[in-house]
Amino acid sequence: MTPAQIETFFATLQAANPLPASELEYTSVFELLTAVLLSAQATDVGVNKATRRLFPVANTPQQIIDLGQERLEDHIKTIGLFRSKAKHLMQTCRILVERHGGQVPGTRAELEALPGVGRKTANVVLNVAFGEPTMAVDTHIFRVANRTGLAPGKNPLQVEQGLLRRVPGKYLNHAHHWLILHGRYVCVARTPRCWECAVAACCDYQPKTPAPGSR
């Protein structure tokens, strides 16, 4: 994908969705961190279903601690790997209370020091909560970046670094969400919906998937 095509690619996505947002439901930085921590190997729909039960009862680190491990597990048991996620969340809450005054820190090093928080989760929090131009590479972004030729890479870190180099600065803050939504609904895994893709002309993928019934 050429620089001119990349510009057109993001200008088109921006025109269609000027202010993209996460599909995870949250009302605070801590709720965002919790939702992203719970989202590993789970859908946003599944996470939202669980947090709608959890957050009205406990939506601060101290409230999660007060809830206790067993009751926390009960609130999130519909999510895969809920026991290990509850353990990580409980450990994270203790660190937030003991070291950060109950607040979510705003640096990568401090975020990645929290149990269950890796580079991708830290990138989401830094981007969404603190407005940093980071790129959290999930399966959708990894696929879109490689398939379109936007930022090919053999692993998520290579793709992340490629995107940070190639995405024009004016689009970086929202690029994470545009790419996720594009991968989730249009540039899907098995059969990309090229016939309804607004940026198909910028994309290296060949052959384009024809519209159903057009063959």
Number of H helices, E strands in the chain: 11, 0
Cβ neighbour number for residue 49 with a 10 Å cutoff: 15
Query: What does the block give as tokens for 129?
Result: 């909560």
**DSSP string covering 116-181:** T--HHHHHHHHHHTT--------HHHHHHHHHHSSS--SSHHHHHHHHHHHS-GGGHHHHHHHHHH
Which residue is associated with the tokens 């290579």?
Answer: 158
Q: Which of 74, 85, 120, 208 is catalytic?
A: 120
Active-site residue flag, 138: yes
> What distance in Å separates the CA atoms of residue 79 and residue 100, rounded to the nearest whole number?
28
Which SS3 state, helix, strand or coil, does residue 25 take? Answer: coil
Query: What does the block give as tokens for 183?
Result: 């991968």
Task: Yes or no: say if 44 and 73 are a contact pair by the CB < 8 Å rule.
Answer: no
CA-based torsion, 186, 192, 11, 15: positive or negative: negative
Which SS3 state, helix, strand or coil, does residue 80 take? Answer: coil
Active-site residue flag, 87: no
Q: Which of 66, 77, 87, 138 is catalytic?
A: 138
Query: Looking at the annotation, which residues are catalytic?
Result: 120, 138
